[in-house]
Amino acid sequence: MNDRDIEKGGGAGLIVDVRSEEEFEEGHASGAINVPLDDILADPKGSADRIRAHARDSAAAIRVCCASGGRSAIAASLLKKEGIENAKNCGGWQGLCD
């Protein structure tokens, strides 16, 4: 799998949408889980553990998205600090649906 596959939602992996619950309910990428950035900021370890629990394969890409890429960049960085080295900022969630 290359970076373009990850960005466009191809291949195995988990999509983590870090927008608010309200934004997530208005629409999200198929199969995504919602872990709001506020939750990650408040409890990085607990959030990382929650994401690990949803990942089918610990080596698979963790694609982090939000509305435009700002929040997902912060979240991906924090998740990497918590040991999720395969976290990748994929920017806006709608780009994962192309």
CA 5 to chain CA centroid, Å, is 15
Domains contained in the chain, CATH given: 3-97 (3.40.250.10)
Instruction: Please answer whether residues 31 and 13 qualify as being in contact, where contact means their C-beta atoms are separated by less than 8 angstroms.
Output: no
Q: What is the pLDDT of residues 42-79, one digit of tens each?
A: 999 999 999 999 998 888 899 999 999 999 999 999 99
- Check residue 95 and give its pLDDT: 81
Length of the chain, in residues: 98
